[in-house]
Amino acid sequence: MYDIGTVYEPKTVEEAVRMRCEHPQAVIIAGGSDVLIKIREGKLAGADLISIFGLDELRGVHMEEDGTLVIGSLTSFAHITADPLIREHIGVLGEAVDMVGGPQIRAIGTIGGNTCNGVTSADSASTLFAWDAIIELTGPEGIRRMPIRDFYLSAGKVDLREGELQTSIRIPRKAWEGYKGFYIKYGMRRAMEIATTGCSVNVKLSEDKKTLEDLRIAFGVAGPVPRRAESTENTFRGQALTASLPGEIGKAVLADVQPRDSWRASKDLRLHLCSTMAERAFREAVSRSGGEL
């Protein structure tokens, strides 16, 4: 069933990087929920694998002294959803990854594997875009960090260079402190469905809960890579909360998205979803922040 070549099992990140350089054709495998399927389908038949599953140093969530939340790239979706730091500070990420597949997939699938696949439909991706996440990569030249929006290059392609592996996802204090968010995923089924469109909205309100101090809106499947609705964010940042604001935001995001027709949904349907989901997610994020519309 599985046509696999040689499997290399590094014991440390440094050894994994060395193996990546020595065997550039080898495929990194973590949880295996995507790679093993491709092998079974014949797309990666006979591939050599570098299994980083045993690198426990890349698992777990912790907070650094400056308030940066660090999520190890081998942290499973189930772990993220249950983690106390995630629940306290960026609970919407736990909610988003809890929509991935079924319980078995969430127990084995990793946040690093999900982002390194580079697919726009990943439930974690749009949410991490909305949190201004930083991707940490470790390679032969040392550690390299970049905003997640720069990590995604094109459909299915990320900025992972020769010898590198993703080691963590970092969310600085300034990106999460004072923010509340909400993620909506639309699929044809209610469970175990790839997102037709996904929308994640984070808001930061003024102390009196009357003004929208900051706004972040991110979409999945609204273009070849996850994307932020930057012009909408810039337009509505600093505005007073009014009853008409959610609808205005829902209309405005249409200028920021570029969905396409596919066998799963038409462009027109996705445009409708982007507008409606942005409005609904914004309403819920404001409510979670203690604001009223």
What is the structure's pLDDT at 102?
A: 86
DSSP symbol at 26: P
What is the structure's pLDDT at 252?
A: 98
Residues β-bridged to residue 176? none
In degrees, to the nearest 5, what angle opens at C-alpha 159 toward C-alphas 85 and 184? 45
What domains can be seen in the chain, in order of their start residue? Answer: 4-51 (3.30.43), 56-174 (3.30.465.10), 179-288 (3.30.390.50)
With the C-alpha atoms ordered 98, 61, 163, 145, is the resulting torsion angle positive or negative?
positive
Cβ atoms of 17 and 164 within 8 Å: the answer is: yes
In degrees, to the nearest 5, what angle opens at C-alpha 232 toward C-alphas 228 and 233? 70
Cβ atoms of 91 and 81 within 8 Å: the answer is: no
Residue 204 phi, psi dihedral angles, 5° rounding: -130, 120
Cβ atoms of 15 and 9 within 8 Å: the answer is: no
Q: Which two tokens stand for residue 53?
A: 């599953």
What is the structure's pLDDT at 41?
A: 87
What is the structure's pLDDT at 212?
A: 98
Cβ atoms of 27 and 69 within 8 Å: the answer is: no
Judging by beta carbons within 10 Å of its beta carbon (0-12, 13-18, 19+), is residue 198 exposed, middle or buried?
buried
What is the structure's pLDDT at 185?
A: 93
What is the structure's pLDDT at 189?
A: 66
Residue 251 phi, psi dihedral angles, 5° rounding: -75, -40
> For each successive 10 residues of the chain (293 residues), what is the average pLDDT?
90 97 94 86 90 96 98 97 98 94 90 92 93 98 97 94 96 98 84 83 97 98 95 98 98 95 89 97 98 95
What is the structure's pLDDT at 219?
A: 97
Question: 22-31 long-range contacts, Cβ below 8 Å, gap at least 24?
Answer: 23/48, 23/50, 24/162, 24/163, 26/50, 28/52, 28/116, 28/165, 29/53, 30/73, 30/74, 30/110, 30/112, 30/113, 31/74, 31/76, 31/108, 31/109, 31/110, 31/113
Q: Which two tokens stand for residue 50?
A: 């570098």
**Residue for token pair 């946040």:** 111
pLDDT tens across 224-261, in order?
999 999 999 999 999 999 999 999 999 999 999 999 88
What is the structure's pLDDT at 195?
A: 85
**Residue for token pair 């505005």:** 239
Cα 30 to Cα 112, 165, 251, 281, distances in angstroms: 8, 11, 40, 32
